[in-house]
Each structure stands twice: as C-alpha cells, then as structure tokens.
Amino acid sequence: MLVWSDNQIPKFSEGYGYTPDCLYEHISRSGLPIRRSKPQLPNEIGRLQMGIGIGYFSKEDVINEIVINHSIPDTFVKSQRYSVGFTFWETNQLPKNWVERCNEMDEIWTCTKAMQDVFIDSGITKPVYEFKLGVDPELYFPKKRSPHRQFTFLSIGSPATRKNSQMALDAFLKTYGKDEDFRLIYKSNGPPDARMWFGDDKMAINHPRITVIDDEVSHAELARIYDRADCVLFPTSGEGWGNLPFQAIAKGIPTICTNVLACTEFANMSVPLDFEWDTNSLFGLYVGCGQWAKPSFDDLCDKMKYVVNNYDQVSNKTYTNAVWISNNMTWQKVSEKYIDRMWKILESVK
C-alpha cells in the first residue's frame, strides 16, 4: 500500500498550496493501492528510526507501508519499507540540512528539470525524479485575448516578498502611473507587502487606478480575477514551479515572468524577464543557499511597453502555448508520470 501525506502545505487557492489535492484526485482514480494518511492523535504521528522529522503518518504506516512525503524535508518521515520525499526549492542551492534529510529517503521527487539539477548538484545522492505540475482545465483554459478599453495589468504573489510585487507596482507607476488608459490590479493573499512613496514616506497603496484585492479568494474567483487582466506581472526571484504565472499563460494572458530555474519550463511561452544572479537579497531560510534571481526593473518596464505596443503578436504566441498546455499539462495528464513511477515502486518493493 502507498500512503500519501501533504504535511504542512497550506491550502491556499493561490500558489501550489492546492497541488496535493489536484494530484491526489487523479492518482487515487488510477487503480493504485493508495490512500492519504490521516492520523487522529499525537501518539499516532510517526517519528521512527533516525528521528528526521514529524509528519502525518501513523506509526503502523511507517513500519509497513510505502510512504510519500509531499512536504518540506524538515517534516519528512522515513518508512521502514520505502520512503519518497516530494519537495520544491527556489534558489540554485539547497540548504545543507535539506540535503541530509533528502538523502535519508529512498528517492526524491521534484517538478522541473532545472530543480532536479539543483538537487543533484547540491549533494543529493539518492535518485531524483522530475515530474511536472498542471492546471485545472475547467478554470484555466485557452482564450484568445484582446485588451480591455482600459489596459489592465495584474500583479499577483504578494505578500511573499520574493515574488517582488513591489517591483511590479513601481514599474507600473513609472511606466503608466499618470496615463488614464492604464490600470493595475494588485492581488495579495493578505495585507500587501508593497508600498507607495509619498515624499520621503512609504505609505499604503492609494492610487485612483490601482485596485487592491487583499483577501483570500476561491479558486473560481481567482480565475475570474485573471480574466480581468490583459497582462500579468510576475518578476519573481525564485519558484519551486510557479503556479501563478503558469495559470495565467494557460488562460492565454500575456505574462511577464522571470526566466529563472523552475520558471524556465514556461517563461518563454509568453514574455520572459531578464535577471542577474544575486546573493545580497537572500533572507530567512534562503541565507547561505547559493543565489536566486534579481529581476531587471528596466527590462520589466520595457517588457510592459512591448506587450502594450505589440499586443496582438504577444497574445497570439501566448494563446498558441495555452492550447499546448491544455492538451498536455492538465492535472490529469501530468499525474500519469507520477502514477507510472508509483507502479514501478510497488513492483520493486514486495
């Protein structure tokens, strides 16, 4: 039996928080002998052998079953039978303790070729498998886009500072802030992290053509917010995959996204954003973990103008690639590779 746990992944409608649900929905229909781990009491939580973390597996599961940890490595639990660690990262080097945790697994999964290389180059010696993430075709389907009467940019990803919504806001204000024909929707999943300058003071966003949406919304409402946009701005410093810009491209919306690491899977499907490697802005968990992207502010401003001035051309390109995504990268399609690997694990671990 395979037992899956998505320990500590928050269930937000924005970003990859709902990834486990989307994958598991299709994996569970495949005929695999698989279930989710749902221990009820603290003493059911597995912490066996090397004590490498606390995850949501019962002690019986970590003795007898094949476990799939879909979480950060700090919460991986090792099974006495077979252990898979399924995780993501956002710079070009893993934290040392993550490498140690991953090497206690029997194999590791991640979701892009670029991140597979980072995992291996960082010192993971166990097999590292590369899969993909997908889109919900009922919400994110191709549509040929024409600009609204008032051209609308969408910044999404706040309040995660590494998504650089401050840069997106500043680029809009510099490039189109005084032009009545343009507006910005600023979507934040909580209080926005970006601010506006008023003289020497930074204040909350207050602009007649900037609409702030700062509450968590449903998946369906998020898809409708995308539809209000003519161009999505996503000058991120690093992504484990990049659901937010990927979903925009899947809808055929011209999307300016940093062409780095995991986003190299799809940034060129619309409008890739230039960057330099940077260590100075690393913070928190990312300190001492190589480099991540410092996207170019000037290139972001130039790419915004390029989209506006060449909208039909960019829209056609993005729509063509959205059709390809619709045919090849729905959750049902991408789950096939996961399912195939799980059958092989079952065959090898008897």
Q: Are 25 and 331 in contact (CB under 8 A)?
A: yes
pLDDT computed for residue 9 by the predictor: 61
Strand (E) or helix (H) holding 309: helix 297-309
Q: Are strands 196-198 and 182-188 parallel, antiparallel or unpaired?
A: unpaired
| Domain spans in the chain, listed from the N-terminal domain onward | 2-134+330-348, 151-328
- Read off the pLDDT of residues 173-223 as tens digits, 9 standing for 90 and up: 999 999 999 999 999 999 999 999 776 677 889 999 999 999 989 999 999
Question: Do 229 and 154 form a contact (C-beta atoms < 8 A)?
Answer: yes
Distances from the Cα of 76 to the Cα of 27, 151, 184, 239, 266, angstroms: 21, 46, 41, 21, 29
User: Are 212 and 205 in contact, with CB atoms under 8 Å apart?
Assistant: yes
Based on the number of CB atoms within 10 Å of its own CB, is 290 exposed (0-12), middle (13-18) or buried (19 or more)? middle
Tell me the C-alpha distance between 122 and 159, whole Å.
29
This prediction has a pTM of 0.93
Q: Which fold has domain 151-328?
A: Rossmann fold (3.40.50)
Please give the pLDDT value at position 198: 77
Rounded distance, CA 154 to CA 225, Å? 9
Low-confidence ranges of the chain (pLDDT < 50): 41-54
Phi, psi of 59, rounded to the nearest 5 degrees: -65, -35
DSSP 22: H
Query: Tell me, what's the pLDDT at 49?
Result: 37
Question: CA of 274: how far to CAs of 23, 143, 261, 303, in Å?
Answer: 32, 27, 12, 10
Q: How far is CA 256 from CA 90, 104, 303, in A?
A: 18, 38, 7
Six token digits for residue 171 = 């680029």
SS3 for 116?
helix
Please name which of 227, 225, 230, 262 lies closest in space to residue 246, comparing C-alpha atoms: 262
Whether 140 contacts 247, CB under 8 Å: yes
| Amino acid letter, residue 54 | I
Between helix 19-27 and helix 331-348 the angle, nearest 10°, is 60
CA distance 56 to 102: 17
Whether 151-328 and 2-134+330-348 are alike in CATH topology: the answer is yes
Q: Write out the two tokens for 323.
A: 């059709």
**Three-class SS state of 11:** coil
What does the pLDDT read at residue 38?
A: 66
Residue range 2-134+330-348, CATH number: 3.40.50
| Predicted local distance difference test score (pLDDT) of residue 60 | 82
- What is the pLDDT, as a whole number, of residue 259? 98
Give the pLDDT confidence score for residue 55 in this predicted structure. 56
What pLDDT is stored for residue 238 in this prediction? 93
Q: Which DSSP letter does residue 252 get? A: T
Contact 93, 118 (CB under 8 A): yes
Question: What is the phi/psi pair of residue 189, to 5°?
Answer: -90, 65
Q: Which amino acid, one-letter code, is at 240?
A: G
